């Protein structure tokens, strides 16, 4: 799940770990307060998979080499050349690869049932196509409807001794209904505008 977030952020530009964490905090906000203890292992995982590439820069900064776009060929060569360098201020700047972009779309496509992962997918919705978006939205709405039924059943069957549990359940019911209505608006908007937003990948006439 954190891999989706990393790839989604890196898709907009290359960053090093610390910046990445800050962007994750601002974009994802309340969902998933990523810590270094999960960020760096995840970056290593992604690097092993070939989804991201790391370039170590010296104190001259990243301006010495243009890293916009997908990193392949000479970037990888440059990286291996500078790999062993352990001079002062070695910032590792990460960039997404073509493998990483495919992985991003793949992660976006697979279903998200809980609130956290759905919100994260929604934050990166611009990277996938209309049908996928609709599928995710409708699946989420179905999950919420099911949960609404379940909570209502529990609310009806429960012995009424505890006002706090009851307040919790009632508020959960209200929140869930609000979420369902919100999803309905998103679905309607998606259906209405499905002819102008067909292409997911961006740079395209």
Contacts to DNA by CB under 7 A: 1-3, 16-19, 32-38, 40-45, 59, 88-93
Distance, in Å, from the CA atom of 202 to the CA atom of 205, rounded to the nearest integer, reads 9
User: Looking at beta carbons only, is 1 or 187 nearer to DNA?
Assistant: 1
Identify any residues that bridge with 75 across adjacent strands, giving them in sequence order. none
Taking the complex as a whole, how short is the minimal distance between the CB of residue 39 and DNA, in angstroms?
A: 7
Distance, in Å, from the CA atom of 87 to the CA atom of 169, rounded to the nearest integer, reads 57
User: Looking at beta carbons only, is 52 or 136 nearer to DNA?
Assistant: 52
Answer for the pair 32, 1: CB distance below 8 angstroms, yes or no.
yes
What residue 37 binds from DNA, a copy of itself, none (CB within 5 to 8 A, per partner kind)? DNA
**CB proximity list for 50: less than 8 A, separation 6 or greater:** 97, 99, 100
Taking the complex as a whole, how short is the minimal distance between the CB of residue 162 and a copy of itself, in angstroms?
A: 6
**CB proximity list for 200: less than 8 A, separation 6 or greater:** 105, 126, 127, 128, 129
User: Looking at beta carbons only, is 36 or 182 nearer to DNA?
Assistant: 36
| Distance (Å) of CA 195 to CA 130, 131, 199 | 9, 11, 10
* Closest C-alpha among 148, 140, 138 to residue 177: 148
What residue 186 binds from DNA, a copy of itself, none (CB within 5 to 8 A, per partner kind)? a copy of itself
Answer for the pair 58, 90: CB distance below 8 angstroms, yes or no.
yes
User: Looking at beta carbons only, is 62 or 186 nearer to DNA?
Assistant: 62
Taking the complex as a whole, how short is the minimal distance between the CB of residue 45 and DNA, in angstroms?
A: 6
What residue 32 binds from a copy of itself, DNA, none (CB within 5 to 8 A, per partner kind)? DNA
What residue 150 binds from DNA, a copy of itself, none (CB within 5 to 8 A, per partner kind)? a copy of itself
Distance, in Å, from the CA atom of 126 to the CA atom of 35, rounded to the nearest integer, reads 25
Tokens found for residue 20: 């990445």
Residues that bind a copy of itself (CB under 8 A): 26-27, 29-30, 119, 122-123, 125-126, 147, 150-151, 154, 162, 164-165, 167-169, 171-172, 174-175, 178-179, 182, 186
What residue 14 binds from DNA, a copy of itself, none (CB within 5 to 8 A, per partner kind)? none
What residue 89 binds from a copy of itself, DNA, none (CB within 5 to 8 A, per partner kind)? DNA
């Amino acid at each position: 799940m954190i891999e989706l977030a990393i790839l989604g952020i890196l898709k907009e530009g290359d960053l090093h770990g610390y910046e990445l964490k800050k962007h994750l905090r601002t974009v994802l906000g309340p969902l998933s307060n990523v810590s270094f203890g999960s960020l760096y292992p995840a970056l290593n995982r992604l690097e092993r998979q070939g989804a991201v590439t790391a370039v170590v820069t010296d104190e001259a900064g990243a301006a010495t080499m243009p890293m916009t776009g997908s990193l392949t060929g000479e970037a990888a060569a440059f990286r291996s050349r500078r790999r062993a360098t352990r001079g002062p201020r070695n910032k590792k700047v990460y960039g997404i690869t073509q493998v990483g972009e495919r992985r991003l779309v793949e992660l976006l496509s697979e279903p998200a049932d809980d609130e956290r992962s759905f919100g994260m997918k929604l934050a990166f919705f611009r990277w996938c196509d209309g049908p996928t978006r609709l599928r995710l939205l409708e699946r989420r709405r179905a999950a919420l409807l099911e949960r609404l039924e379940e909570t209502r059943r529990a609310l009806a069957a429960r012995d009424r001794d505890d006002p706090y549990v009851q307040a919790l359940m009632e508020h959960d019911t209200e929140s869930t209904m609000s979420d369902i209505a919100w999803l309905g608006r998103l679905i309607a908007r998606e259906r209405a505008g499905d002819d102008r937003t067909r292409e997911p990948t961006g740079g395209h006439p």
